[in-house]
Amino acid sequence: MTAVPRSVAILAGEAEGPVLSTTEPLSFWGGVSPQDGRVIDVHHPLHGACLSGTILLMPSSRGSCSGSGVLLDLILSGGAPAALVFSGPEDVLTLGALVAAMMFDKQVPVIRLSEEDFRFLSGCDRAAMTRNVLEAGGRTIALAPAPTAALELTPEDRAMLAGEAGPAVHQAMEIICAMAAQQGARELVKVSQAHIDGCIYASSANLLFAEKMAASGARVRIPTTMNAISVDYANWRSQQVPEAFGKPAQDLADAYVRMGCRPTYTCAPYLLASAPKAGECVAWAESNAVVFANSVLGARTEKHPDFLDLCIALTGRAPLAGVYLDENRKAGLVIDIELQPGSDDASWPLVGYLAGQMSPDSIPLLRGLAEGKPSMDDLKALCAAFGTTSASPMLHIDGVTPEAASSAAAGLPQRRITREEMAAAWRELSAGPEQVDLVAVGSPHASLGECRALVAALGGRRCSPDVTVMVTAGHDVIRIAEEEGTLPLLREAGVTVLPDLCWCSISEPVFPPAAKTVLTNSGKYAHYGPGLSGRTVRFGSIRDCAEAAATGRAPCRLHEWLVP
C-alpha cells in the first residue's frame, strides 16, 4: 500500500542500488576521493567504503563547501552514488546534483525522507526509485514533488531570469531560484560582496563549470574575493609541479579573474581590509570563513556551496533563507566547557572540533570560554575546527561573540565538553610517531599574529635540517610580515612561507614527498590531512610546532592541562 507522501524528491529521477547508510554526516571534499568515490576521511565510520552506485543515506553533509564540486566530478565521470538520501536540509551536495542536471543533463536523484522513512530505509539492503516512489524492503514510500513555491522576484530579478543580462546571468538565476525553492525561501536578498570557494582545483569539474560560465560572458556585479587556489600561482613551474595539474589549476584561477573576481587567493577573507561589518549580508563560501563571518564578525551569510557562490556574485542576489533571517540565528543547544587552567592555543581547535560533533546541524551557544579571553586567532582556530565537524554556519560564545547575548539558553538542551573529552579528541587527532618530518602552519591561512607567535616560539633557533617547516598565508599578511621584519626572521630560521595555497590544497611535490609524519596546529587540517595527503598527521600547539621544527620531535604525551 502506498504511503501518504511525507518524504520529498528534491531532485526527482530514477535509481537503483545497494543501500549504504551512516548516521554521521560526511564532507565530500576531503572525505571522498573524486577519482574513485571511496571515503578517505579516516575519522568517518564509512572510511574505505566506495560510494559509487549506492543509494547513499546520511542525515546531511558537513564540512567543506567544495563538496559540490567533488560530487559534480563524480557524476560526470560516472562514479557518483546512484542517489542521495538525506533526513534533513542539505545544500552542498544538492547544489552539485542540481548543477549536473541543469548544466550537463546528468541526473542523480536527491531525496529528503521523513525520520521514520529514513530509519526504515537504513535497515534495507537495496532500494529502487522512480520520480514519485521509493521501494525497499517490501514497502513503497511516496515521494512528494520538490517545493515549487513562487518566489517574490523584483523587476530586476525577473529581467535577469528572463535572460536580459545575458546567458550566464540567466543560468545563474535559474540555479539560485531552484536552490531558493528547496530551501523554502520566498524571496531573494541583496548581498554586498561574495567570496568564491570554487577556485580550488578540487576536480576537473570545477574548471569545466568556470570555463563554461566565463565563455558565456559571466561577469561579477559585486566585489568578489577568491579563496586559496591549488598552486603557488607565480612559482608552480619552478616548484616542479606537473603541468597536467598546475596548468588546469592556474586556468581555473584565471577563469574567475576573467569574470571579475579579485585574485586574493586566501581562505581567510576576514583578514582582508574588505571584511564585512556586523549585520552586513554577504555571500561567502569556504566553511571556516562562513562560520567566522557569522559568529565573530556578526555578518550574515549562508554556507554557500561551490558554484552557487559564483551564481550569487553574478547577480548580487541570494535566497533569503537560513541564517540571513533573525529567527534562524538563535542557538538550539548549550555547550558548557571546562576551560582548564594553563591551557594553551591548542585548546581552541579542540573546543571547536568537539562542539561541531555535538551540534552537527544546529547552532550551539558555548559557555565558559569568556574567562579565557580568546584572541581573534583563537576564534579563527575554533571556527575552522567547528566548520569541519558541523554543517551549521555559525555558533555563539557567551560573553565573546556579538549575538551571544540574544541567544537565550533557557529550555535548550545542554551538553558539556570535559577535560577528558578534550584529551580524547587530542589523542584522536594526534596519533602517530614522535619523529616529525613536516610542520604545517596556516590552515586557514596564517594571520600576522600567528606568524609572530611562531617566531617567538622558535626563540632564535633554526629549523632542523631533517624537518620541513611551511607556513601558508595570504598576500596581505605576507606583505605586512615582510615590512615589519617578521618574514625575514621566519626565513632566517629556515621556514618557508607560501602564498596562494592552503594546506588543504597542497599536493606533491610542494608537499614534501618524503615526509611521513606531519605536525600541525590546525584542527581542520589534523582532521582532513590524513585523507588528503596519505600521511600521518598529528595535532599540537604553536609551541609544539616550533619545538618539532627545531628538534624534529614532538613527544607523544598530553599537555599538562589535559592531564587529571
Residues acting as catalytic residues = 64
d(CA 222, CA 299): 16
Identify the residue whose cell numbers are 573546543. 351
- Give the number of other Cβ atoms within 10 Å of residue 319's Cβ: 27
Residue among 395, 369, 208 nearest 291 (CA): 395
Question: 39 has which bridge partners?
Answer: 32
- Listed in sequence order, the residues at least 6 apart from 101 whose beta carbon sits closer than 8 Å to its beta carbon are 11, 107, 108
- Give the number of other Cβ atoms within 10 Å of residue 38's Cβ: 16
- The answer to whether the CB of 364 falls within 8 A of the CB of 395 is yes
d(CA 367, CA 291): 17
- The answer to whether the CB of 136 falls within 8 A of the CB of 7 is no
Residue among 293, 92, 82, 306 nearest 207 (CA): 306
d(CA 322, CA 445): 27
- Listed in sequence order, the residues at least 6 apart from 244 whose beta carbon sits closer than 8 Å to its beta carbon are none
544: left (phi > 0), else alpha (psi -120 to 50), else beta?
alpha
Strands 133-136 and 139-144: antiparallel
Ranges assigned E (strand) in 95-210: 110-112, 126-129, 133-136, 139-144, 188-190, 194-196
d(CA 516, CA 75): 33
Sheet with 224-226: strands ordered across: 224-226, 194-196, 283-284
Residue among 498, 552, 230 nearest 487 (CA): 498
Kind and range of the H or E element at 542?
helix 542-551
519 phi and psi angles, rounded to 5 deg: -115, 130
- The answer to whether the CB of 362 falls within 8 A of the CB of 396 is no
Residue among 51, 116, 44, 47 nearest 87 (CA): 116
d(CA 1, CA 138): 10
d(CA 30, CA 531): 7
d(CA 95, CA 34): 16
Query: Position 185: which residue type?
Result: A
d(CA 562, CA 564): 7
Residue among 381, 438, 382, 530 nearest 30 (CA): 530
Grid coordinates representing 399 are: 560573553
